[in-house]
Amino acid sequence: MSTFLTIVNIALMLAFIYGLYALQKKHVSFSKRVFVALGVGIVFGLGLQLAYGTQSDILKTSIDWFNIVGKGYVKLLQMIVMPLVFIAIVSAFTKMKLTHNIGKISSLIIGILVGTTALAAAIGIASTFAFHLDGAQFQQGEAETARITQVEDRLGTLQGMTLPQKITELLPANPFLDFTGERPTSTIAIVIFAAIIGIAFLGVKRKNPEQAELFAKIVDTFHTIIMRVVTLILRLTPYGVLAIMTRVTATSDYQAIWQLGKFVAASYVAMLIMFAVHLLLLAIAGLNPLTYVKKAFPVLTFAFTSRTSAGTLPLNVKTQTQDMGVPEGIANFAGSFGLSIGQNGCAGTYPAMLAVMVAPLAGVDPLTPSFILTLIAVVAISSFGVAGVGGGATFAALLVLSTMNLPIAIVGLLISVEPLIDMGRTALNVSGSMTAGLLTSRATKELDADVFHDKQQSIPA
């Protein structure tokens, strides 16, 4: 009987996938198909949990099969991240798109990312106070105890490092290792490596133009092929969102979410306010926030469901360049830097909220201006090198709490609601990087306003 029900569940998933394919054949817009996939995934997942329960072998087996589509899609995106980051940045140099103002562009992007992260921290602090959150209220069970042990083990590798040592970790000692994504700072290391290659190319171009021209043609060929791969993968987005959202809603522990509902609510209030800040900054820059929301929706939806900023990078960059009018070089820098620097959700709001919640347990008054200002500064500095994959927020929280000499156990106590909160954090991270790209291109007067205001989207149909 269980095998039969599993087959029924798989058949339903295949039917929904076919339905999305039929919508594609009818030329329904990409964003609408993503929205449909999101809604169907939520309803289907809730239905599966109601029918079988989270501990059912039928559900576990069904989700295992669904993961071929969901996790398979994420893996394909992650596969292309490092090659895309590297070749896109080198290509920006060979196409002379960053030659004259690379310093200004890099400084603006990093400044916006870190500045908005500091704002996110301040908003997280205010939300924690407004909801009267207290770290002493959380209960510790077996799962939480195991998570705390893991957190403490991970902290051991961080406590012995000074701030200069942490900054040094950003550099690519072995770029081939970083191409595998082995380190939390691998992405930023590849960005630095690609920039060094690009600068070297400019030197060769002055002395040996023929060799530089040959190199530029090779890079352009690789860039064209990789972007074609990106396009092919992005066409699978609605199907990936459907499978991922089904898994999330079918396996979530809603009782635990209810018990920690106050923290979840405070987190999402803070993240929504910070998203509103992104829109406000765009409005100040003369860009229509509603246009941004419409064009960013598929990107933010995927970030929300997949919980991976790195996996969202191809969709992020393609949307910035083809739908928002951001130059290719700036979009790649903003998207790539945004994976490891200044993540508004994971490195901003979340660590700040935890620090305020546990400060009283360490005998520290979180209401004092000195504590608040110090915390915001520590959050901003610690936001360098946070990984754009699952676990980045834990890494950021450990850095902040250990630097502030605060208890770290609270990181493990939130394990039951971590996936739910991480969805919002990831979407906010990606919105922050896209906002940085738009604001930077606007400041350097390189934004194609006609493309930004064009109602058509060029995401692959």
Chain segment 378-397, per-residue pLDDT in tens: 888 877 766 555 556 777 78
Alpha-carbon distance of 351 to 378, in angstroms, equals 10
Q: Comparing 36-40, 70-74, 307-311, which segment has the lowest mean pLDDT?
A: 307-311
Q: ∠ at Cα 38 (35, 43), nearest 5°?
A: 130
pLDDT of residue 456: 64
Q: What is the mean pLDDT of residues 245-261?
A: 78
φ, ψ for residue 303, nearest 5 deg: -60, -40
Alpha-carbon distance of 311 to 200, in angstroms, equals 29
Evaluate whether 403 touches 378 at the Cβ level (below 8 Å): yes
Q: How confident is the model at residue 409 (pLDDT cuts 50, 70, 90)?
A: confident
Task: Give the residue among 176, 171, 200 at the shortest CA–CA distance from 188.
Answer: 171
Residues 6+ apart with CB under 8 A from 6: 58, 61, 62, 65
Please determine, for residue 229, whether its predicted confidence score (pLDDT) is greater than 60: yes
Alpha-carbon distance of 294 to 312, in angstroms, equals 17
Alpha-carbon distance of 39 to 49, in angstroms, equals 16
The larger pLDDT score, comparing residue 137 to residue 296, is at 296
The matching CATH number, chosen from 3.20.20.80, 3.40.50.970, 1.10.3860.10, 3.40.50.150, for 2-453 is: 1.10.3860.10
Exposure letters 137-168 (e unless 16+ CB within 10 A, then b): ebeeeeebeebbeebeeebeeeeeeeeeebee
pTM for the model? 0.80
| Per-residue pLDDT tens digits for 254-303 | 776 776 788 889 999 999 999 999 999 999 999 999 999 999 988 998 88
| Per-residue pLDDT tens digits for 431-441 | 999 999 999 99
pLDDT of residue 302: 85
Please determine, for residue 150, whether its predicted confidence score (pLDDT) is greater than 70: no
Pick the most confident of 65-69, 232-236, 303-307, 358-362.
Answer: 65-69
